[in-house]
Structure 1
Amino acid sequence: MARAAVEMIGVPYSWGGGGVRGPGFGIGKGARTWGFDCSGLAEYAWARAGAAIGTTTHEQWRSGVRVPKEHVQPGDLVFYDSNPKSRGPEHVGIALDTARIVHAPHTGEVVRIEALERRTLMGVVRPTGRATDPTRG
C-alpha cells in the first residue's frame, strides 16, 4: 500500500480527485486539476493491494480496526481532524513507518511525505481485508 502511494509523490492535489484507477480530475475546485485528494490517494494505494476501503475519509475511518499510534505499521491509515465544528476525520495519510506518512495535503500542493505526528491526529486504522500477497501494491 505504502509503496503505491510513494510512487505518486509529486502528483498534484485535486479536491475530489483520484481513486482506484489512479489520479483523475477532481470536482468543484479540483475540476481542472489531474491528481489526488487525500482519500483518493488512500483508496488507490489500497486498491493496488487488492482491498476496497471506500472513497471518503469517513468510509475509510470505518474500514478496519483502530490501532494505537504506537503500533502503526506501513500501510495503516492515519486520520486527522482539523475542524472541531464537524465530525471528523477531515484528512487521511498512509503510514510509511512509525514517524512518517505519505499524503495529498491540500489544494496547491503535491503528494509528499511528512511527519505522522501532528496536533490534529485523530487515530490510526488498519483496514481489514489486507492483501495476502506481499508483492502487490
Structure 2
Amino acid sequence: MRRSYKAIRVMLMAALLVGSTAVAQAAGYKYGDKGGDIVDLQKKLVTYGYKARVNGEYDANTKWAVRLFQRDHHMEVDGITGPDTYKAIMGKPFNESRVGKITRMAKAKLDKEMADSRAAAAKRAASSKQGVGKKAVRKGSADDSLFSGIHRDPVDEDFKFAATTTMSKEVKSLLAVAEQYKGVPYVFGGTTPQGFDCSGYTRYVFAKAGINLPRMADEQYNVGKAVDKQHLQPGDLVFFETYEPGVSHSGIYIGNGRFISATSSRGVAIADLSGGYWGSRYIGAKRVM
C-alpha cells in the first residue's frame, strides 16, 4: 500500500509539472522560440506591412516586427507575443495545442544574430559621432504614451562620485537619487522603489531630474547625444547587449569607470564598466542632460 501511495504521488507531481510547463509555453512566443504557429504569426505581420521573415523562427527580425505592431496599436512594447498581442495580430485566442509544441532556435543561429547585432551597433556608434541623436523626451511629451506600459560581478563598492570639479548641480542631484536606491531588488517589469528592472530604474531616476525617458532600454538608446566611451561623464546613460541581440540593459555612469544599474543577480548595484561580465557587452552611451 505504501508503494501505491508513492506511485500515485509521483504521477500527480508529474502531471502538475506537465501542466505548469504547458501554461508557461502558452503564455506567449518570445525571442528564440521555434515552431508552433509562428509561421502563421509572421504571415499575418507581413500582411499588415511589417517586415517579418516567414521562417517559423521567432528571430530578432520577428521580435522587432512585433514591437512595431505593439507600438502602432498602443500596446505594451516588449516584443513578446503574449495573449493580448497574439489576439490583436491573429484575430483569435491562442491555439494552445500548437503553442505547446514550440522548441528553441539553434544556439549557433542565436550566437550569430548576437554577433551581427554587435557589429551593427558598433557601426551605428561610429556613424553617430558625426551627428547628434534625438533629444531626450521631456515630461508631457506625446511620445511617452507609446511606452507606458545570471551573472556575478566582483565590484560592489560604496557609491562614489567621479573626482571632478566640473560636475553640475543637476548631475550631482541625479547621482544622489541613483545611489538612494542601491540594493533595491530586481523585479522584471519593475518601475518603482519596491522593485526595478534595468530600464525601469533609469527611467525612474531621470524622471526625478525632470527628464522623461522611454520605458524600454533599446528605446532609451534612441534618445540623447552619442558619447564615446573615453569621453563618458557622470550622469550618462550606458547600454549593453545581454540576453538577446541589440540593447537589452541600461545603466547610469557614475565616474571612475563604474556604473550603477538594476541587475537580475544583485538588484540595484555598482559594477565595472570595462571588466568582468559587462566589458564585452558594452554597446554605447548617450548624454541626455
- TM-score range (shorter-chain normalised) is 0.7 to 0.9
1:46 match: secondary structure: helix
Please report how far the alpha carbon of residue 99 of structure 1 lies from its aligned counterpart in structure 2 after TM superposition.
0.4
Query: Tell me, what secondary structure is at the counterpart of 1:104?
Result: strand
TM-score by length of structure 1 reads 0.76
Q: Which has the higher contact order (CA 8 A, sep 6+)?
A: 1
* Equivalent residue pairs, number: 112
Query: What are structure 1's unaligned runs of at least 5 residues?
Result: 24-33, 131-137
Q: Deviations over 1:74-114 (max 9, x none)?
A: 1111100124x53x1010110001400011111x4221111
User: Is 1:120 the equivalent of 2:278?
Assistant: no
**Which of 184, 190, 202 is matched with 1:11 structurally?**
184
Identity %: 38
Larger fraction in strand: 1
Alpha-carbon distance in 1 for matches of 2:176, 2:233 = 13
Match of 2:263 in 1: 105
1:3 CA displacement:
1.9
Higher helix share: 2
**TM-score when normalising by structure 2:** 0.37
Q: Is the contact made by 1:98 and 1:116 (CA closer than 8 Å) also made in structure 2?
A: no
Change (3 A) 1:98 1:125: farther
Give 1:109's aligned amino acid: R
- Distance in 1 separating the partners of 2:250 and 2:189: 13
1:1-137 map, 5 Å: 1-18=174-191, 22-23=192-193, 34-83=194-243, 86=245, 88-106=246-264, 108-117=265-274, 118-127=279-288, 130=289
Say which one has the larger Rg. Answer: 2
| RMSD (CA atoms) | 1.4
Q: Distance in 2 between matches of 1:78 and 1:98?
A: 14
